[in-house]
Structures are given as C-alpha cells and as structure tokens.
Structure 1
C-alpha cells in the first residue's frame, strides 16, 4: 500500500478553513519579527485582520505578571502585545493604531510597566485599565477578578513560566483564570480566593509534588493535579489532558526557553482551540513522541530562526504519522430521512492508531425519497484509493390493516409487540408497535390504538372478550333454601364454585322455568347451568306451612329456661326409640334459624323436621383466616320427622357478620373503598382479597376481621377510563345483602 503523510489543519485567521486537505507532509508557516515585540505584533496581524476594540499589554522582559494575561485577552477577543517597561514599543504603538484599539489592559503595577508607557497610550486617545498588585500573586487575582466567575481554575508556579504558557491557550479557550502560587506555599490572599471557589467544578494544579505537595493540595477545594516531570513533559501532559477539547490536527510551536512568543501566541491559539508545543534548540523527547502520535496538517511557528531553528522545524515535518488504511462506510437510514455524508472519517495510521481525517465526497446531498442501496465515492488527499460509502435506504410502512382479536374472561391476553405492514417498496415486514390504553366501546368489546414509527396513522386493535365462566371449575355444591309460604324468594344469580386451585369464586348461573311456590308449601327442585361446568347444579327450595318455625324466632340461641329449648330438662325425650343420624348439615350464621327440612335417611327425600333439643353444644371458637371456615359453636340436634321418626344431626354456627369493609379501625365499619392504580380493563376478582368481614372475635367482645368469599361481582369487569370512582355490587357468602364497593382510581 502506498503510504502518504497525513496532515491536519491549523486554523488561523489567514488561511485555515475546515475544508483543508490532507497533504503528504505538514505545511509550516513561521510568524515572527526581528524582536519579540515585532513577533507579538505579527501574531496580532495574523489573528486580527480587522479592527479590535481591546488589546492587552504586558511586560516583554519579565514574565511574572504577564503569564496570567491569556484568559483576559480571550474574554475581550484581544491580542496580547509586548512592551519594555520604560517605553512603549514602536511595534506595539503601530499595531494599536492599525487595530483602532479603544481600550487597553496593562497587566502589572507601575514598577512593571512605567507610568510614562501608560501616558503614551492615553495620548493616543485610548482608555487604559491597569491591573497591578503589590506582588505577582495579587496581580493574578486582579486579572482573575476581571475574567469573572469560571467553572474551572488553573493554579501554576509563579516562579517560572513554563507551566503557565503551556496552560495559557487552554485557559484562554475555557475562560479559566490562571492563579499563581509558590513552591509548597500558597499566599494567604490566594488561599482565600481558592476557598471561595467551592462551586468551581475543578481547580487544576499544574505541576508535581515538588510544586504543591499532597498535604497542601488537600486544602484546595475540588482540586486535581495534572502534569508532572520536566517542563516539556508537563507541556505534553497538559495538551493530552485537554485533548478532547482541542484541535490536535493543528499545532503551534514555540520556544520553551523564553515566555514571550508563546504568551503572545496563546491568544491566537485559543481562537482555534489549538495547543502550543514547546521545543528547545533540538526537538525534546516528549515533544517528539507527541508528534509521532499525531496526524499533523499545518504547523505555525511562533518566533524567528534564532528562536526556533530550522532543524526543529524539519523534525516537526518528518515525525507525523502516515495513512496505512481507510475502512469503507456502510450506513443504514429510513426512507425520507435526511442524510449528509460525513465530513471526516476514522483512518488507521502507520502506528495502527485511529485518527480522524477530513474526506471529500463526489456529491454533497443525497436523495432518500426512494428505498434502495446507493454507493458513493470519497477521497482523502494523497491517499490513492477511493473511499466507498454504501447507503442503505430502508423502506417505511405504507399500509397497516386494523386487527381483530378475541379472548376469554379470566384468561390473559397480551397486545402484540409487532404488526405486519406493507412497506413502501411493496414488501411485507413486521414493525414494532406501542399501544395506548384501551377504551370500552360496548360491554365485552375494547378498542386499542397503536403507534408505529414513521407511519402517520393510528393502528386499531378491537378485542372482544367472551365470558367463559367455569372453565377452571372443579366442583359446585348443590344448594338448599328454606322459606315460609307466601314469603318472597328469588333464585340466586350466582353460586360459589371451587376452582382447580381450590380457591372459591362466584360464577353466574342460569335456571329453568321458575315454579310458583308462593301459595303452596312443599319441596321444589331446580336445576341450573354454569357455562363450562359439565354438571347441573341442584337447588332444593323448602316452603314451610303455617306451622313452620318463625325464622325470626330461632331455636338457637334461646333462653335456658324456655320450655321450647331442647336443652331444657323439662323437655323429655323418648329413650325407647332408636335415633337415626342424618350427619352434618350446612352451617348457618349465628342468629339464623336451624334448617326445618332435611333429607330423610330412609327415603332419601326432603322431609320436614322438628327439632326437640340440643344434646351437645360445643362453644369452642374455631378461628380461621376466612369467615367461611370460622365457627362460634357446633351443635348436635335431635328432632323428629313426620312426628315419630327420631333423627339427630350436627351443625356448625358461623360468626355473625357485622359488616363488610376494606379498612377497619376497631370502632367504625366504614364503606368498602378499594384504591387501584390501573387503567384499561380491571378484573374485579382481583379485589376480593381486599374485602374483610367484621365479626366478634374469640373473646366474645373484641371485633376482628376475616377474609370473605365473593359469590358475584356485578359487573365482573370495569373499564377504567377518566372517572375517579367506580361502583360495583358484591354478593358475599353468608352475608344477607349485597354491598356496594367503591373503586377509587389513583393517577
């Protein structure tokens, strides 16, 4: 492969543009004069072609006050000019006139730049502001105050200039004040200034432990040490520390043996985010290693041949890297998406490092209105191969049909993550979709709207939910009700089912033609159907005649001395007859009457029973989590069927439910309110676990709460829309009347 020297671009006011080409070797431009004063004026001409309202003037013979000037010059977009302390340099005077300067900052007191110099500047009609303290450290603080508040600050050694001129172009670029300190000593006024900078993101300490030791650096808030070693080592380390903010394809070179040219050049370098590399009479090793790691396009030399000699310049031209390889580019975009070819690309240099270089393409704008694969050619100057850019323009959705879906109640349904679209090139493809919350159009039918990237219409998904109660039903117990003749009775709309997981749930039931019993006593049998359950559910309705027991005057509990109480010893039994055991009856709620109809053990048919006494009453409180499993007593009853057939049975007594609530404070039973954080369709079966029955506990006087079984939620599902509250009727097992439950939506 034909390797060529890579170069980058140094941006100056004269000749630097972002479209500069890579050349075989760095081009070099020397900016200089016969003296340091003329060199400073030449640098000013290079960077300030037109007028400048401001200029910064420093002592050209002594560095201490001068080295803090760069950030101030950058703030006012001013050049840095030099002058002897006792007279105004004629080169500086001429440059002030050329620029049309109206304001000058003099850095240093009257012992650094004499009053007659200030007077000479004023005589030119220029306003002068002098920033000078009793010491170089005070002067640096005055300059920092004029620069203003900054997120970053640099602390450098005030007894030498190397670190200051190395950080100067970077400090100027970032408007970062330069503060001076002594070796392992920070003057009190400087320390007070630093203590007030606690809001500063970073205070950079430039130099090693020989400058500011570890104990002293801890006193500086938010401090970070950068750059250690000799002057040229520190110069390169400073550049590398801020390389992400600098244009490292471009470079200025200045002598490290004096401060004047580098300081004057720092304001120019800051204009274009370019660092200054310090050199000696020969190329220092740290500087050489830096050049060998970079792709350099143009070098600006600050100072004449007596300052930076020709051998150093030749080294700077020979050291930069060469192009070894360039990878082609593949880019994917969507139809109608704007695309501009990249202005730069990553190349592989001769040391296998990756560098960013400018590239020219055979066109500037690309039509992406049609999907397809497009190829373009680019070039890097002096690289003998074309750079290929392959642009893949992907199609976008052109048409997406609405979706219809079905699901059964109590089953899960997940909205699809993708939908099939007809693409703009005629092909079919799956595209990602995001769904909004659905709305209920009518019972059981919900509509969801989806969004697909790069598709202007909403996608509609209609979900039909079919009721399918009982598909997981394990068993349903037959029912038995006892009523008085001429009383009101309505067949239940729901029954309790035992599910496959042994949980209890209310399911809807439908009955055959209801027989009229109102004026007739007797036993009536009904058969009901639950969808998804393969057996019929039987309901036995026993209608008592006029001699039946008043349900409001139950046998249990009664007063002990009541002659009708079966436990009263004055109510004798006939021990001569055998007693047939009916078994355990369905439990009743405390205070409800005993059942008056049982299954005759001989005929296996319903028959009326008259209970004559309780022969055993177990009042042990059976405690459980669910009200259906609790007992306040268990009673053994004896009675007769048909007046002469003696029978006995046991029956459990469930605690009387005082009320249903969701939040009980031990005193008041408040209405049931269930807070939910939901949207879309809410399954009311999820709310069952939040209801509680309030009962009298085992001690006979303290109230407590138990879980309940809901036989029926009406309606079983709620479509959560914009309302704050929703009201649902719940039929609770062993509780006489349905309750109203409030769903309170939290948003």
Structure 2
C-alpha cells in the first residue's frame, strides 16, 4: 500500500443557462433556472467543474474507469477540491496552471494514471500519488489515512450507488468504503458502517442504515431525501459514469443532491423533486442527457438570456470575487505577520523556556521503505518539542546526498521517480527560527529504496 499526503485555458465547451417554466401535469407551473455543464469530452467537463471550485488543489483520477474517483469523492466534496479526469497521457498542465492549481493528488496506480503523466504533473505542481493493490484497498487507504472510520458502504463493482452518495458522505464528514458486496460480510478493523447504499443484490450485508430503491434512479431519489433543505439539484446520467464522476465537490458546494436519469426520461419521483427546487444543473452534453428530455421536463418555451451579456456579467462577477479574495488573502497575511511579530516581542524569559527544536522526522508507514519501480511521493512530517504548527510547516528541507530521480520541496514532500537508480537517500529538516532563547536544530532520516517484491 502506498499513501502520500492528500491535499486533500480556453475550453471549447459550452455552458448553457436560462430561465424556463416547468409544468408537471396538474402541478403549478413555476420558473426554474437551468445550467448545463458539458465539455467536448469527459476530461474537459471535469476541468469545467473543477474550475468552479476555486481551489488551489485538484485530485486526478482515471476517466477510463470509476472506482478511484468514487473513493475520493466524499473527501473531495468535504474539502471543496475538484476532481479532474485523465485519459491515458493527457497533458493537463496548461489547464491546471491557468486555473491557479498548485497541488495535484493522483488517485490510483500507474494502470489508472500513468507514471509518465504523474512525472509531467510533478514538473509544475506539488504532486503525490495514492493507491492500493486494488479498488477496495485504495478506498480503505483513503479512509484510514484521513482517520474517517465512520463510513458509507457501496459495491465496488458498479458506480451508480456510490456516485450519488459521495456528496452526502462529504456533507456528513464520512468516507466511502468500496467492498465486494457479494463476498464481504464484515468491515476492516476500526471501521463502522453508518450507511449501506444500494439493494441486497449490490451489498448483501447491512452495514448501518440501508438506502435503496427499486433501481439506481429511485436510489438517487432516496439519497436526496437525506438532505434537510436544498433548492438546487444536479441531473446526471445513470448509464454513463464519466460526466458525473467529477461533480461530487460541486454537489456539496451547492448543497445539491444528484438525481440520475437514463438520459431520455425521468421518474415521477424525480419530477416531483425538480418541481420543488429553484435550479437544476445538468452535467454532460446532449449525448448524455438529451435536449428533448430537457424540453419535455422544462417546457420548450424558454425565456432565453443574451449569451454575450451573460458572459460579460459572469466575467465582471468573477473579477469582483477575485478582488474580494485578494483582499481576504491580504488580511490573512497581515494577521499572520501580526501574530508572528507578537510572538517575537514576548518577554525573553518566556522565549528562553520555549526553545523549539526538531526531534525527528516521521515517515508515513505507507511509504517507508520506498518501493522501486513506482513513482510516489513520501510524506515527511516533524516531531518536535515546543514547535507550533506554523513552525513545523516553515522548515528547511534538504537531500544530503542529491541523486537523479529524487527531489524534495519545501513542504517535506519527497518525490521518488520510478527511473531512479538510487538505493537510499538521506533527508534533513532544520528549523528556521531566530531570536533570543531559540535553538535551531536539524533532524535527519534515511530512506531505503527496495527492489520490487517478488
């Protein structure tokens, strides 16, 4: 098992929005806002969704298969971090840099996201990789590594139940644990099942409250009923996982449950839910959710907006938010400076008794020793007396015996690339403090790079 610290462009896609009237039989007509988020492919759609999260970090998961993105979705939702889908060796660097991304966390092994792509990401971002021997171990590593022991259970063999439950778990601060629902009758040590998603054919054993409908569509409606109040829903395909894989963080941000559709029709239950909200976000292009479905539900007569005016207003609003964000960032920086200055002018006798030092470097048990033949980021942490959290983060990291294929950044993330010929590496961390009574100290550790296990 490998565990690295989770962090937690002009695109040709079109976002369609408008105000249209709904009419479900004899029910009262009302006006509802519609937004469609759909790119030319699943990668671009995921980038569009991630862009809306305004985060400095993203999770990267395979767009070819669903398990890795499902496992990370509750954590991504809770942290407000976008999930970007990758296909083979897609170069994402330019788009991610344009979004202001600083950190990328790759979920899954090299069969999911190639070592070549990981190495390319590492050129421009602080990057790490998290994976287990299979989808089940990967979901366990994510939950255990973040100390989320209250979990929701779903089958790892199919996607719909886990897809719609991820945002709910993120909302409640729980992890997703994927299991082989036909074989697993117990959970790994320390885990407690709070929810079981899907019917007995998906997960045979009850682990906590079971939420299941007659099919995947009704299950999504029942999960929506677990939300207290909401005025927005997200509509996604229940037959194709790709577009909806990336939407969990946005779902949590909007407090919007995900409803599934076959792309051409909705159940009566879904129509009733939609009739009670103010906004529907459709994820995916018209090949996933047809225009005829949109028209049949929301009515073909829409009060369309001037697209150019909308784009201009959206740009102005974005600029205003960026200005507000810059002001808040400046305030936070000023606060940190003031706190640091206040710390420096404490009475000398208090400073003298404090003496922050680094005692040792702690290496995550999931990455010690390093495994040759895989590219990974080893998470190095400090244990020290009298060190504040800020001081633990403000350290000078060095490789004492520099070697090709190994690098370290100022956060203590040691990247060991798969092509390195090194057999071991020695790393040091030194405090960067000044003032009377402060003792700077260096700690070192040696990491052995083993040959692959036979």
Q: Please point out which of 194, 197, 219 is paired with 2:191.
A: 197
Displacement of 1:289 after TM fit? 4.4
1:232 maps to 217
Contact 1:233-1:286 at 8 Å conserved across structures: no
Contact 1:140-1:179 at 8 Å conserved across structures: yes
SS of the counterpart of 1:169?
A: helix
Q: Please point out which of 30, 44, 47 is paired with 2:53.
A: 47
2:289 maps to 308
CA deviations over 1:262-309 (Å, ceiling 9, x no partner)? 1211111111211111111321325544446x4221211111111111
TM-score normalised by L of structure 1:
0.35
Give yes or no for the alignment of 1:36 onto 2:18: no
CA deviations over 1:361-405 (Å, ceiling 9, x no partner)? xxxxxxxxxxxxxxxxxxxxxxxxxxxxxxxxxxxxxxxxxxxxx
- Distance in 1 (CA, whole Å) between partners of 2:297 and 2:147 is 38
Decide which structure has greater helix share.
2
SS of the counterpart of 2:67?
A: coil
1:270 maps to 252
Displacement of 1:33 after TM fit? 0.6
Question: Are the structure 2 counterparts of residues 268 and 288 from structure 1 closer, same or farther at C-alpha, using a change threshold of 3 Å?
Answer: closer
TM-score normalised by L of structure 2:
0.56
CA deviations over 1:632-678 (Å, ceiling 9, x no partner)? xxxxxxxxxxxxxxxxxxxxxxxxxxxxxxxxxxxxxxxxxxxxxxx
Give yes or no for the alignment of 1:138 onto 2:137: yes
Give yes or no for the alignment of 1:69 onto 2:72: yes
- Distance in 2 (CA, whole Å) between partners of 1:140 and 1:119 is 23
Question: Are the structure 2 counterparts of residues 57 and 287 from structure 1 closer, same or farther at C-alpha, using a change threshold of 3 Å?
Answer: farther
1:427 maps to none
The alignment yields a C-alpha RMSD, in angstroms, of: 2.6
Displacement of 1:129 after TM fit? 2.0
Give yes or no for the alignment of 1:211 onto 2:191: no
Alignment of 1:97-136 (within 5 A): 97-124=97-124, 126-136=125-135
Query: Gapped runs of 5+ residues in structure 2?
Result: 1-15, 18-27, 301-454
1:250 maps to 232
Contact 1:251-1:299 at 8 Å conserved across structures: yes
- Distance in 2 (CA, whole Å) between partners of 1:269 and 1:315 is 24
Give yes or no for the alignment of 1:298 onto 2:292: no
Q: Please point out which of 178, 181, 187 is paired with 2:179.
A: 181
Displacement of 1:311 after TM fit? 1.5
Displacement of 1:23 after TM fit? 9.2
1:166 maps to 164
- Distance in 1 (CA, whole Å) between partners of 2:53 and 2:115 is 29
Contact 1:170-1:273 at 8 Å conserved across structures: no
Contact 2:38-2:285 at 8 Å conserved across structures: yes
- Distance in 2 (CA, whole Å) between partners of 1:34 and 1:28 is 19
Displacement of 1:318 after TM fit? 4.8
Displacement of 1:55 after TM fit? 0.6
Task: Flag the structure with larger Rg.
Answer: 1
SS of the counterpart of 1:243?
A: coil
SS of the counterpart of 1:307?
A: coil
SS of the counterpart of 2:35?
A: strand
1:566 maps to none
Question: Are the structure 2 counterparts of residues 274 and 35 from structure 1 closer, same or farther at C-alpha, using a change threshold of 3 Å?
Answer: same
Contact 2:51-2:82 at 8 Å conserved across structures: no
- Distance in 2 (CA, whole Å) between partners of 1:41 and 1:168 is 19
- Distance in 1 (CA, whole Å) between partners of 2:134 and 2:278 is 42
1:259 maps to 241
1:82 maps to 85
Contact 2:69-2:246 at 8 Å conserved across structures: no
Displacement of 1:102 after TM fit? 2.2
- Distance in 2 (CA, whole Å) between partners of 1:45 and 1:80 is 10
Displacement of 1:146 after TM fit? 3.6
Contact 1:25-1:318 at 8 Å conserved across structures: no
Contact 1:147-1:175 at 8 Å conserved across structures: no
Decide which structure has greater strand share.
1
- Distance in 1 (CA, whole Å) between partners of 2:29 and 2:59 is 36
